[in-house]
Amino acid sequence: MDWTAPVDIYCERMDASFWAEPINAVSNGAFILAAIWATFSARHAGVTSPAIWVLIALAYMIGAGSFLFHTFANAWSGLADVAPIWSFVALYTLVAITIVGGVRPGKVVIGAVALVAVIVVARLTLIDGTSAPDTPPTPSRFNGSEQYAPALLAMVVITAAALIRGTGIRYWFLAATCAFVLSLTFRTIDIALCDHWHHGTHFLWHILNALVIGLLLQALIHNSQRTPTP
C-alpha cells in the first residue's frame, strides 16, 4: 500500500490540494463541539468512569482524524479517520451492552476488538483500491455507506432493547439512532448530487454524526451510575 497515494471519493474534492474539501474539512469541528459538550457535562456530573472519559477522548480524535482525511486525503490519513471511529463504536457497544443487557464486559470485549480490526482492514483495503491511479473506482450503490451497517444494526438493536427494558438511556438512543439514519442518507447521496451541487452532502454526515456522538455520550453521562469500568 502506498500510504501517500491521493484518495478522491467525495463530491467536494476536485483536486489533490490540502483545501480541496473546505466544507468537509471544517465541518469536523462539530465533533470537537460534541466532545466539549460531553466534557463539561461529565465534569458537572462528577463522572469518574474511565470508559466515559476514553469515549470522550475518542470523540476529539474522531474530529481530528476526519479533518486529516479531508485535507491530506490519502491512505495514512484514512487510517487516522477510521481508527478512532471504530474504536468508539466498539467501546461504546461494549458499555451499552453491559448497561442494557447486563452482560459482563469480559464476555464481549474480544468481539469488540475483533470488530474494529476487521472493519479497519476492510476500509483500508477499500481506500487502497480506490487510490490506484490507473484503475478508476466504481462507486458502490450506497457510496460506501454499507460499511456502517454493523454500527446501524448495533444502534437499532440496543435502542429496541433499551425501550423494551425501560432503561434510562432509551430516549437518548432513540434520538441518536434517528439522527444516524439521516446522516447515513446524506453520506449515501453525496456523489449522486455532484452534478447539481459540487459541494455534495458529506458535510451533513459530519454534523449529524457529531450530534449522534454527542447524544450517545450524554446518554452515558446522565446514567453514569450504571456505567461500568472496563
pLDDT at 113: 61
Average pLDDT over residues 63-75: 96
Q: Does the pLDDT of residue 130 top 60, yes or no?
A: no
The Cβ of residue 153 has, within 10 Å, a number of other Cβ atoms equal to 10
What is the C-alpha separation between 209 and 180, in angstroms, rounded?
6
pLDDT digits (tens, 9 = 90+) for 42-56: 999 999 989 999 999
pLDDT at 131: 43
What is the C-alpha separation between 26 and 137, in angstroms, rounded?
26
pLDDT at 126: 54
Q: Does the pLDDT of residue 111 top 60, yes or no?
A: no
* CB hemisphere CA count around 28 (13 angstroms): 20
* Strand segments (E) across 31-73: none
* Cβ atoms of 112 and 54 closer than 8 Å: no
Name 27's Cβ contacts closer than 8 Å, sequence gap at least 6: 203, 204, 206, 207
pLDDT digits (tens, 9 = 90+) for 158-197: 899 999 999 888 999 999 999 999 999 999 999 888 888 8
* Strand segments (E) across 62-204: none
Q: Which domains does the chain have, with CATH numbers?
A: 26-134+144-226 (1.20.1070)
Q: Does the pLDDT of residue 135 top 90, yes or no?
A: no
Q: Which residue has the cell 463539561?
A: 40
* Cβ atoms of 56 and 39 closer than 8 Å: yes
> pLDDT category, 136, cuts 50, 70, 90?
very low
pLDDT at 175: 97
Mean pLDDT computed over every residue of the chain:
85
